[in-house]
Amino acid sequence: MKKFVFGTFIYEYHLIKQDRKTLSLTVVPDLKIILKCPHNVDDKKIEEFLKRKWFWLEKQLSFFKKYQRNIYEKEYISGEGYLYLGRQYKLVVKHGTEDLVILTKGKLMVSTTKLVSNGNYNKKLIDVWFSEKMQKIFQERFSAMLDKFDYKNNPVLKIREMKKRWGSFLNKDKIFLNPKLISTPKECIDYVIVHELCHLKYKNHDKRFFELFNKKFPKWEKVKDKLEILGVSI
């Protein structure tokens, strides 16, 4: 973790050096700051870049702070932010003639037949919607990634809560995905699936494992950086 001081403001950011020609700055919904740069860029140039980007940086942080709430403090009322496939959506709850949840124009719209302030009922509607989307998308990505392999006996996909992992495997017949993966981009879901599918052949992270991983998912290192920034390791 690097630190940037500008006046009375202090920022901590993740520095990722890559084979690239330019510097880029990103703020993710959970307020993490990510700076990507070429391998040969020195600290002085990085600091100058951050100073030029200061106003934009503050604007992005303010935007995400507006909707950020700890998952344990959610009240399931309008104004809260929800992550879905790598994007942040603002929750809007309205009274309607039917119970319905849809995504539209950057918003997670909930139509409820109950009071809009009924957080417990709103939570039920949102949880069902996320569960249905998760089952569908996870299975689609699992099938697509499984096609990269030639296993005679294909494993089955299971979903399981895990505190410190995005995915895991059991013997050679089950692969588990963390339901929180639905908040990440699809390429992150693919990464975890391929990672676990490689483990079906090579249990340890040895040379053979990474040779297979590189063959099946060449961009895995870049995607791994995204997942590590989200705070859960694999």
Opening angle at CA 65, ends 61 and 66, nearest 5: 120
Q: Which two tokens stand for residue 229?
A: 């920034």
Q: Quick one: DSSP state of residue 150? A: -
How far, in Å, are 38, 133, 167, 168 from residue 162 at the CA level?
35, 19, 8, 9
| Res 198: pLDDT | 96
Look at the alpha carbons of 210, 163, 62, 107 in this order and tell me if their dihedral is positive or negative: positive
Q: Is 112 exposed, middle or buried (0-12, 13-18, 19+ CB in 10 A)?
A: buried
Strand partners, 35: 15, 25
First-to-final CA distance of the chain: 19
Q: Which two tokens stand for residue 101?
A: 């949840």
Q: Is 62 exposed, middle or buried (0-12, 13-18, 19+ CB in 10 A)?
A: exposed
What is the rounded distance in angstroms from the CA atom of residue 109 to the CA atom of residue 91? Answer: 6
Within 8 A by CB and 6+ apart from 21, the residues are 38
Which residues of the chain does CATH 3.30.2010.10 include?
135-229
Instruction: Give SS3 for 39.
Output: coil
pLDDT digits (tens, 9 = 90+) for 174-204: 999 999 999 999 999 999 999 999 999 999 9
Q: Give yes or no for a contact between 149 and 212, defined as CB atoms under 8 angstroms apart.
A: no
Phi then psi for residue 207, to 5 deg, are -60, -40
> Where does the pLDDT of residue 66 fall: very low under 50, low under 70, confident under 90, or very high at 90 and above?
low
| The domain defined by 135-229 carries CATH number 3.40.50.720 | no
**pTM, entire model:** 0.72
| Res 229: pLDDT | 64
> Where does the pLDDT of residue 233 fall: very low under 50, low under 70, confident under 90, or very high at 90 and above?
very low
More confident position, 109 or 83? 109
Q: Which two tokens stand for residue 223?
A: 């995607």
